[in-house]
Amino acid sequence: MKKFKWLVPTIYILFLMLPIYWLINMSFKTTTEIINTYSLWPQKFTLENYIKIFTDSTWYMGYVNSITYVVINTVISVAAALPAAYAFSRYKFLGDKHLFFWLLTNRMAPPAVFALPFFQFYSSVNLFDTHIAVALSHCLFNIPLAVWILEGFMSSVPKELDETAYVDGYSFWRFFFKIFIPTIAAGIGITMFFCFMFSWVELLLAKTLTATVAKPIAATMTRTASTSGYELGLLAAAGTLTIIPGAFVIYFVRNYIAKGFAMGRV
Amino acid sequence: MSLELKNIEKKVGLETFIYPTNLKLEKNTINVLLGSTLAGKTTLMQIMAGLDKPTAGEIWFNDQNVTGVKVQKRNVSMVYQQFINYPNYTVYENIASPLKITGVDANEIKERVGKVAELLKLSPMLDKKPNELSGGQQQRTALARALIKDSDLILLDEPLANLDFKLREELREELPKLFENRECIVVYATTEPSDALMIGGNTATILEGKIIQYGKTLDVYNNPENLTSAEVFSDPPMNIAKVNKSGDSCSLLEANTTWKTNKKIKDGNYTIGIRPHNVTVEKTSTNSVEIKGKVMISELSGSESLIHFKYGQSNWVSLSSGSHKINIGEEMKLYMNVDECLFFDQNNRLVSNG
């Protein structure tokens, strides 16, 4: 039995990697080859698909737009969640527990519920088709998540640390930025990762709230499929490139995530 | 220099944490707040520091009312039971931080940190981060941070409670020396009577948010004003019994034990308190009285034997030096040194000590 203990994980990883492999495989094929032949690797290896994406602004601007609103959203979410989480972890106030739970319920409604009101509202205040519109709408589910994660990290820091700092002569703000934020740096890293990820993969709101100027990459991908026939090779290349930022971020925060799981709030 | 609490009271919601309290701490004294957990020691210290506001009453420092003054504006230091240090700073930066905040010049900081680190044996660790240190070293760092500025008031909230036995003994011996040549008031909270005796100075016994007695540590130990104070200042717990005195004979009401006494107190019923180390396996004084008890639990700690036994209807504790072989359930002879009995009247006030 011992001899084969590598078997199950190997099969598992193989199955996990299969669709990703197939995507990458397709991205180096021509559309004709994808449609007409079955092959485990490209017969006629081509970089055409990637060249098209990097030279055509309707394609690469999709990435720029997506990254822009994702970064804006991450910054807003963490900036808003830090003081909120501090209040929840350090102070008692009327209805604090209910409010904390209510935050979480914001995540329970599917984003589709909010698509129409957001669309109508942003149109009427002239925010339609802007990066900030998408970034703000994603705060709907990212801020509660950020508050929830950060509160856990903050509560694991004893409040005696705050008091010691005050006794030593620190003002609140100096303590907060010089000592408290570095102390929970791992938590902030994880929070940013989750905000980044959820905003990056969200399609419905991003698609509804944009037309051309702030059009995200995922929207570009779905629209291409319907207008100029099936450009499968191109789509596969775009898909491959979409995975990369996520993989990149995960690589950098993997240690933090492990720590976060150990602290019990992720 | 003095710190005075005038009718301090602390309520949170409907619960009273501190009942109206008066306390005056003089300059250059070490003051022990002795009481069990949740007695209100920490709350009292937070009020003294200015981290918490009293619901009623005033705090005066150097004949000035400082009741509403923020903690940053008061010159205090505090050390907690948990080892609290700034995790992102090195030991050096940790110790230096109170000086840095007040804008002391860099050379002076360096010199003073060097001195304090030397005193607390932290010199080799200055470049490390606190979580790379052992518990004892972490607490030393916290102590160093408290000592580096010339605080008027140093508050130590059970600083040794989370340390293991050996480190605790070591640091407990060093502590009083650290404050010897300082112009400050030290307040030390602890749950252990032995800490208070070791540290000396003054002691306030606290129970359920009330200060029972405040005075010189030995006075409080030897002449507890009342039974409660004596009970707080006794570990293992004090043995308590009802006695009747008539003429020169004294008898325990629950058990048939009588002894001769020459105490100059009125005849009548009293409550006596006798500390466990005065009830021993071997006779320690010529006036010891033999009593018989049924052993329930015995604990040996190498140099001492602790025996819980049933005497009359009550549970008693005996603490003898040396290891003794004791069988549980056995009826055994013990000696009570009646010279060391504390007599309390019907209102539990002390009438005679030993």
pLDDT value of position B350? 82
d(CA B139, CA B154): 15
Query: In the CATH scheme, what is the homologous superfamily, with its name and number, of domain B2-232?
Result: P-loop containing nucleotide triphosphate hydrolases (3.40.50.300)
Q: How far is B139 from chain A (nearest CA, A)?
A: 13
Which secondary-structure segment (H or E) carries A7? helix A7-27
Spatial contact of B224 and B350, defined as CB atoms under 8 Å apart: yes
Within 10 A of A213 (CB to CB), how many other CB atoms are there? Answer: 11
**What's B281's DSSP letter?**
S
Residues carrying CATH 3.40.50.300, chain B = 2-232
pLDDT value of position B198? 85
Go through chain B and tell me how many residues it has: 354
Q: What is the CA radius of gyration of chain A?
A: 23
Query: B182 phi and psi, to 5 degrees?
Result: -120, 145
> What distances in angstroms separate CA A215 from CA A68, A140, A211, one per listed residue?
11, 20, 6
| pLDDT string in tens for chain B (354-residue length) | 788 888 888 888 888 888 888 888 888 888 888 888 888 888 888 888 888 888 888 888 888 888 888 888 888 899 998 889 999 899 999 999 888 888 888 888 888 888 888 888 888 888 899 888 888 889 889 988 988 888 888 899 888 888 888 888 888 888 888 887 788 888 999 888 888 888 888 888 888 888 888 888 888 888 888 888 888 888 888 888 888 877 778 887 777 777 777 777 778 888 888 888 888 888 877 778 888 888 888 888 778 888 888 887 788 888 888 887 778 888 888 888 877 788 888 888 887 776
Whether A171 sits inside 8 A of B98 (CB atoms) is no
- Token readout for B148 is 């580096």
| Residues of chain B neighbouring A182 (CB-CB closer than 8 A) | 87-88
A158 touches chain B (CB under 8 A): yes
Beta-bridge mates of residue B219: none
CATH architecture of the domain with residue range A56-263: Orthogonal Bundle (1.10)
pLDDT value of position B289? 81
- Token readout for B184 is 């400050």
Compute the count of residue pairs across chains A and B with CB atoms less than 8 Å apart: 53
For A19-87, the DSSP string reads: HHHHHHHHHTS-HHHHHH---SS-SS---HHHHHHHH-HHHHHHHHHHHHHHHHHHHHHHHHHHHHHHH
pLDDT value of position A125? 92
Beta-bridge mates of residue B9: B56
Query: B155 phi and psi, to 5 degrees?
Result: -110, 125
d(CA A185, CA B72): 26
Identify the three-state secondary structure at position B95: helix
Within 10 A of B19 (CB to CB), how many other CB atoms are there? Answer: 14
| Residue found by looking up tokens 């025996």 in the block | B307
A172 touches chain B (CB under 8 A): no
d(CA B91, CA B101): 16
pLDDT value of position A1? 67
Minimal-distance CA residue of chain A relative to B86: A179
Which residue of B49, B87, B89 is in closest CB contact with A167? B49
Whether A170 sits inside 8 A of B101 (CB atoms) is yes
pLDDT value of position A165? 92
Minimal-distance CA residue of chain B relative to A176: B86
Q: How far is A82 from chain B (nearest CA, A)?
A: 18
d(CA B187, CA B137): 21
Residues carrying CATH 2.40.50.140, chain B = 239-353
d(CA B316, CA B335): 12
Residue type, B249: S
pLDDT value of position B162? 83
d(CA B292, CA B336): 10
Optimal mutation site among A168, A172, A174, interface B, most CBs of chain B within 10 A: A168
Whether B88 sits inside 8 A of A165 (CB atoms) is no
- A190 φ/ψ sector (left φ>0, alpha ψ -120 to 50, else beta): alpha
Report pLDDT digits (tens) over B240-279: 888 887 777 888 777 777 777 777 777 888 888 888 888 8
| pLDDT string in tens for chain A (266-residue length) | 678 888 999 999 999 999 999 999 988 988 878 878 888 888 888 888 898 888 888 888 888 999 999 999 999 999 999 999 999 999 988 888 898 888 888 778 888 888 889 999 999 998 888 999 999 999 988 999 999 989 989 998 998 999 999 998 899 999 999 999 998 888 888 898 889 988 998 888 888 888 888 888 888 887 655 555 677 888 888 889 988 888 888 888 887 777 766 665 55
**ipTM of this predicted structure:** 0.82
Q: Hey, CA dihedral for B278, B279, B281, B282, is it positive or negative? A: positive
Identify the three-state secondary structure at position B241: strand
Q: How far is A132 from chain B (nearest CA, A)?
A: 35
Spatial contact of A57 and A215, defined as CB atoms under 8 Å apart: no
Query: Domain residue spans in chain A?
Result: 1-46, 56-263
**Pairing of the two strands B64-65 and B56-61:** antiparallel
Does the domain spanning B239-353 belong to CATH 2.40.50.140?
yes
d(CA A231, CA A222): 11
> What distances in angstroms separate CA B311 from CA A254, B271, B284, B290, B316, one per listed residue?
64, 15, 20, 12, 6
Sheet strand arrangement including B342-344: B258-260, B249-252, B239-246, B268-274, B342-344, B350-353
**Pairing of the two strands B210-216 and B239-246:** unpaired
Whether B80 sits inside 8 A of A167 (CB atoms) is no
Beta-bridge mates of residue B314: B311
Cβ-based neighbours of B16, under 8 Å, separated by 6 or more: B9, B10, B209
| Residues of chain B neighbouring A170 (CB-CB closer than 8 A) | 72, 97, 101
Spatial contact of A194 and B99, defined as CB atoms under 8 Å apart: no
Optimal mutation site among A94, A154, A164, interface B, most CBs of chain B within 10 A: A164
Half-sphere exposure of B73 (CA within 13 A, CB side): 7
